[in-house]
Amino acid sequence: MATTTLPELKAKDFKGKVDPDWCPGCGDFGLLNSVQKSLAELGKQPHEVVCISGIGCSSNFPGYLSTYGMHTLHGRALAVATGVKFANPELTVIVTGGDGDGYGIGGNHFTHTARRNVDMTYLVMNNQIYGLTTGQVSPASPVGMKTKSTPFGNLERPYNAVTSSIMNGATFVARAFSGHGKQLVSIIQQAIEHKGFSIVDCFSPCVTFNKDNTYDFFRERIKKLEEEDHDTSDWKSACEKALHWDDKIYTGVYYKDESVPALNDQEPVLEAGPVATAVPALSKEQGDRILKRMM
Amino acid sequence: MSSGYDFAFAIGGAAGQGIATPGNILARILVRRGLNLYAYNAYQSIIRGGHIFLTVRVKDEPVHSHGDKLDLILALNQDTMDRHARHVVPGGVVIYNSDDIKPAEVQDGVQLCGMPIKELTEDNRNKLVQNTVALGVMLNLLGVEFKVLEDALALQFGRKGDDVVADNVNVAMAGFDHAKMNFKPFASALPERDKPLAVWTGNDAFGMGGAAAGVKFYVAYPMSPATGVLHWMAKNARECGIMVRQIEDEIGVANVALGAAQTGARTMCATAGGGFALMTEAVGAAGMMEIPVVFINVQRAGPSTGVPTKTEQGDLWQALGASQGDFERIIVAPKDALDAFNTIAEVFNLVDHYQCPAIVLSDLLISEGTFSVDPDAVNMQPTIDRGEMITEAGSSDGGYQRYKITESGISPRAIPGVAGHAYVAPTDEHDEDGVLISDEYTNPHKRRDMVEKRARKMSTFHDKVAAPELEGPADAEVTLIGFGSTDGVIRDARVLLEAQGVKANQLAVKWIQPFHADAVTKVIEAAKKVLIVENNYSGQFHRFLRSETGCRVDGHIRKYDGEPFQPHHIVNGVVDHLGDKKDVAKDVYVPFQEILV
């Protein structure tokens, strides 16, 4: 879509109709600010962007943006986003949600959307807890974590979003921390500009229900990949680095593969333009041909 | 005009014995001659083995069901001979490979037509060769000239090369000549009319209907008996400019559909009851977000995995109750393939107008049944009305309200990408702007307004969709009421009843939600005796009618063994209800399924 005649926008122009209802100090604020800033800096217009979420604290995200949005069912945002992108690939599709929404109930869609390499950006606000339901264990909770549903400590091993994304076929995989805004904006911008499925697994501390994985917890451990001479084409090294947890936690772009075309760019039907805006009818000639074939 | 020609043949064997090929060749020959047909294929959920029994009924007027009688059986294995030869009516024939199959006992006047396959084919070792020989035999007995079969074989096998065509023509000729010398042909030859007909399955009709209705996005996960729609769409999509996607599960399918439909594409998906169970949360989401989308549920015998390849009308309450909450939906049950085709265009105009989900209730009988269709009755360019939709950038004053409360309840719908109209479509309850009201202060008045706005949309539905009408004599002794696929078989049963001196009329219900309760109540109240015919055990349709009309009825004819009704099943039920009720238990007559498949 041509944007040349449209006004240049600021981050505040991407603020939604209402202010966030997140708890004071919630990590999700960092994400929201970074997305608004990223969209402005990338020269996007609100109507060119669709932000799609599932259910959870972080899934209120689209309501805090001035773009188009869909606040869908729990776990289903990536499926809905797939429909949006294939119906109109000209739209910039951003999916937001939490670790429970994406890695738990939405796990099947996550696996396959990454594998398909549909061109969209998935921002996961990973707080390692179920916040909106007042603090139960999540697929990303560490072993031993005490929550309302694991009062004696979590026995399950946590989901590793970085290694899983790489193995599932995502072509842009990053990890971030909502307390490090500058790096986050840079990652989000790269993710949006990437042609294919990009995921940013972003630690977004839940100040109310997760007393283990706090801002301090992350600040003490985080090392930035861009300062470590990391090769983003080396998936093995990326996976090894993603396994670190107790000693150090790497953030940054782990893995990037620009050689795989986005699935929506390979779809012949879309060569004629978006199906969403195509004339919803067959031409006389098409209709006659189909009917003749069915004789 | 009709000559009264009414002929049914069946081909039986195991999966993998190639029943489909002679079935397709015959069907094509029949419709090219302008003959009407309906074919019902009884099969199981296996790829090799089991028992397949394809019944094809041919008439020179519309065929409404697979009927009651069999005039010809081609038995490809001993099992078919043993199970079905006795069902062939006097004057009929049983064709079989006499090298391998022993004839079974048949009724008087039935001709056993053994084919010495080895001798006729010079020891051709291709196991499927008997099928082609049999086609030669059949067409000879039906009084059709050999050239017709030769052309059909060339069309069927042309892609495999001239040698394959020549081999098939030779063995078909051997069968044709063998029949000419050894067997007695049928008394009346296969008629011929001037206008060729189309031949579709119900699933083809859904696919084609979608294409004609401007569906631009089709999404599915394979599940019998709905997979045929996916196959049709996948094959024809590129040519029709339709985006087709197979997704990881039906939950994904329904949600992809929501995304595509919200973005502006006419979007459809089809599944069976099990898949629809997974889709149902999204049905409610479409209701809340006011997204027009069409879900086709092709019913099969359930619950659970059930009987995957058998038919039933057991998902009515599943459709009525699909998704939590209280919201507006359209439910429609088409009657046959042509009606399935037309229904898709109709229902898309309705969902676009009312911005709500629709459920099309098909069943295996329609979806996998093969129907002849008069091409002149097919409109590939139906009227398309997308309702109040905003597709061009307009005012950017920020005043656009997606869920504006209007008198009609319908709020103009902007699609993503249109400048100056950005909003969030939420699954949470929301205000006119699309802002959630479920967080912080909920505001009960706003909730009430939005519930009423959405409900109000449907108040004009009955102006747009006509109520079902009573068909048949007004003074009938009995009124038969059914929905969806039972329309045809009830029609056939009425003709048989009339021949027995019983006047019957019928009310075929197609539109189930919103229901034409007043019109149907009047019919029930005016009828002398009302019997409800449905393909399930518990009387789902009866309970629905009762809840909508408050009326009691006089009795029921129900079948739930996986096989569809045949006309005589309904006739027997009516006669029993009218007479001594010897087979009626608690007002419910359950017919006996004679043909075991």
The string of pLDDT tens digits covering residues B240-298 is 999 999 999 999 999 999 999 999 999 999 999 999 999 999 999 999 999 999 999 99
Q: In a 10 Å sphere around its CB, with 0-12 CB exposed, 13-18 middle and 19+ buried, how is residue B116 labelled?
A: middle
Residues of A whose CB is below 8 A from B242? 269, 275
- Assess A185–B contact: CB distance below 8 Å, yes or no: no
Residues of A whose CB is below 8 A from B217? 83, 86-87, 275
Chain B residue nearest residue A280, CA to CA: B214
Kindly determine whether residue A280 and residue B259, on different chains, have CB atoms separated by under 8 Å: no
Residues of B whose CB is below 8 A from A63? 424, 426, 435-436
Residues 406-425 of B with CB under 8 A from A: 415-425
Chain A residue nearest residue B233, CA to CA: A290
Residues 231-260 of B with CB under 8 A from A: 236-245, 247-249, 251-253, 255-260
Domains B6-182 and B470-589 fall in the same CATH topology? no
- Record the tokens describing residue B571, joined without a space: 């006739």
Residues 78-137 of A with CB under 8 A from B: 79-88, 90-91, 108-109, 111-112
ipTM of the modeled complex: 0.98
Secondary structure, 3-state, B502-569 = CCEEEEEECEEECCCHHHHHHHHHHCCCEEEEECCCCCHHHHHHHHHHCCCCCEEEECCCCCCCCHHH
Instruction: Report pLDDT digits (tens) over B186-236.
Output: 999 999 998 999 999 999 999 999 999 999 999 999 999 999 999 999 999
Kindly determine whether residue B257 and residue A286, on different chains, have CB atoms separated by under 8 Å: no
Residues of B whose CB is below 8 A from A84? 259-260, 262-263, 416
Kindly determine whether residue B255 and residue A90, on different chains, have CB atoms separated by under 8 Å: no
Could you tell me which residues come within 8 angstroms of residue B162 by beta carbon, excluding any fewer than 6 positions away? none
Q: Are B233 and B207 in contact (CB under 8 A)?
A: yes
Q: Average of pLDDT values for B317-341?
A: 98
Q: Are B253 and A109 in contact (CB under 8 A)?
A: no
Residues 268-327 of B with CB under 8 A from A: 281-282, 285, 289
Kindly determine whether residue B239 and residue A286, on different chains, have CB atoms separated by under 8 Å: yes
Instruction: Tell me what pLDDT residue A3 has.
Output: 46
* Beta bridge partners of residue B557, listed in sequence order: B533, B589
Residues 24-63 of A with CB under 8 A from B: 45-48, 50-52, 55, 60, 62-63
What are the mean pLDDT values of chain A's consecutive 10-residue runs (295 residues total)? 70 96 96 98 97 96 98 98 98 98 97 98 98 96 97 98 98 98 98 98 97 97 97 98 96 98 97 96 96 92
- Assess B174–A contact: CB distance below 8 Å, yes or no: no
- Assess A18–B contact: CB distance below 8 Å, yes or no: yes
Q: Residue B144: what are its φ and ψ, rounded to 5°?
A: -105, 140
Q: How confident is the model at residue B581 (pLDDT cuts 50, 70, 90)?
A: confident
Instruction: Tell me what pLDDT residue B394 has.
Output: 72
The whole-angstrom separation of Cα B200 and Cα B330 is 26
Residues 333-392 of B with CB under 8 A from A: 375, 378, 380-381, 384, 386, 391
Which of A60-64, A85-89, B128-132, B488-492 has the least mean pLDDT?
Answer: B128-132
The answer regarding whether domain A11-270 maps to CATH 1.10.3210.10 reads no
The whole-angstrom separation of Cα B222 and Cα B200 is 20
Look at residue A223 and give its three-state secondary structure.
strand
What's domain B6-182's superfamily in CATH? Pyruvate-ferredoxin oxidoreductase, PFOR, domain III (3.40.920.10)
DSSP B184: P
The CA-atom distances, in angstroms, between B335 and each of A161, B184, B342, B480 are: 49, 39, 11, 15
The whole-angstrom separation of Cα B210 and Cα B202 is 12
- Assess A182–B contact: CB distance below 8 Å, yes or no: no
Look at residue B223 and give its three-state secondary structure.
coil
Q: In this structure, are strands A68-71 and A49-53 parallel, antiparallel, or unpaired?
A: parallel
The enclosing H or E element of B488 equals: helix B486-499
Q: Are B9 and B170 in contact (CB under 8 A)?
A: no
Residues of A whose CB is below 8 A from B211? 282, 286, 290
Statement: residue B506 has pLDDT above 50? yes
Q: Are B290 and B454 in contact (CB under 8 A)?
A: yes
Nearest residue to B556 (alpha-carbon basis) of B477, B569, B472: B569
The whole-angstrom separation of Cα B103 and Cα A211 is 81
Which of A62, A71, A87 is closest, CB to CB, to B260?
Answer: A87
Q: Are A26 and A56 in contact (CB under 8 A)?
A: no
Q: Give the residue carrying structure tokens 């689209």.
A: A62
Interface test with A, best of B256, B373, B395 (most A CBs within 10 A): B256
Instruction: Report pLDDT digits (tens) over B35-65.
Output: 999 999 999 888 888 899 999 999 999 999 9
Q: Residue A184: what are its φ and ψ, rounded to 5°?
A: -60, -45
Kindly determine whether residue B199 and residue A294, on different chains, have CB atoms separated by under 8 Å: yes
State percent of chain B over pLDDT 70. 99
Top CATH class of B199-374 equals alpha beta
Handedness of CA B315, B320, B321, B324 (dihedral sign): positive
Q: In a 10 Å sphere around its CB, with 0-12 CB exposed, 13-18 middle and 19+ buried, how is residue B416 labelled?
A: buried
- In Å, how far is B17's CA from the nearest CA of chain A? 25
Could you tell me which residues come within 8 angstroms of residue B367 by beta carbon, excluding any fewer than 6 positions away? B201, B202, B203, B206, B225, B226, B228, B229, B298, B340
Nearest residue to B345 (alpha-carbon basis) of B451, B470, B491, B209: B209
What are the domain boundaries of chain B? 6-182, 199-374, 388-464, 470-589
Q: Average of pLDDT values for B490-509?
A: 98
The whole-angstrom separation of Cα B94 and Cα B103 is 9
- In Å, how far is B448's CA from the nearest CA of chain A? 21
Q: Give the residue carrying structure tokens 């009047």.
A: B522
Interface test with A, best of B255, B281, B389, B437 (most A CBs within 10 A): B255
Q: Give the residue carrying structure tokens 């019902």.
A: B40
Instruction: Report pLDDT digits (tens) over B50-108.
Output: 899 999 999 999 999 999 999 999 999 999 999 999 999 999 999 999 999 999 999 99
Chain A residue nearest residue B439, CA to CA: A21
- Assess A17–B contact: CB distance below 8 Å, yes or no: yes
- Assess B21–A contact: CB distance below 8 Å, yes or no: no
Q: Are A90 and A47 in contact (CB under 8 A)?
A: no
Look at residue A60 and give its three-state secondary structure.
helix
B515-528 exposure pattern, b = at least 16 Cβ within 10 A, e = fewer: bbbebbeebbeebe
- Assess B471–A contact: CB distance below 8 Å, yes or no: no
The whole-angstrom separation of Cα B304 and Cα B248 is 20
Statement: residue B397 has pLDDT above 70? no
Residues of B whose CB is below 8 A from A267? 243
Residues of A whose CB is below 8 A from B263? 50, 83-84, 87-88, 91, 276
The CA-atom distances, in angstroms, between A204 and each of A29, A39, A246, A270, B306 are: 9, 20, 17, 37, 46
- In Å, how far is A54's CA from the nearest CA of chain B? 9
**A-B contacts at Cβ under 8 angstroms:** 223
- Residue A109 CB neighbours (<10 A): 27
Q: Average of pLDDT values for B298-318?
A: 97
Kindly determine whether residue A72 and residue B214, on different chains, have CB atoms separated by under 8 Å: no
- In Å, how far is B305's CA from the nearest CA of chain A? 21
Q: How many helices (H) and strands (E) does chain B have?
A: 19, 25
Interface test with B, best of A49, A60, A295 (most B CBs within 10 A): A295
Q: Average of pLDDT values for B462-484?
A: 97
Kindly determine whether residue B259 and residue A82, on different chains, have CB atoms separated by under 8 Å: yes
* Beta bridge partners of residue B93, listed in sequence order: B72, B111
Residue type, B141: L
Q: Average of pLDDT values for B439-461?
A: 91
Which of B262, B386, B422 is closest, CB to CB, to A47?
Answer: B422
Residues of A whose CB is below 8 A from B214? 279-282
Look at residue B361 and give its three-state secondary structure.
strand
List strands edge to edge, sheet with B470-471: B470-471, B504-509, B478-483, B530-534, B555-558, B588-589, B584-585
Kindly determine whether residue A291 and residue B393, on different chains, have CB atoms separated by under 8 Å: no
**CATH, domain B470-589, list 3.10.20.30, 3.40.50.920, 3.40.50.2300, 3.40.50.300:** 3.40.50.920
Residues of B whose CB is below 8 A from A268? 238
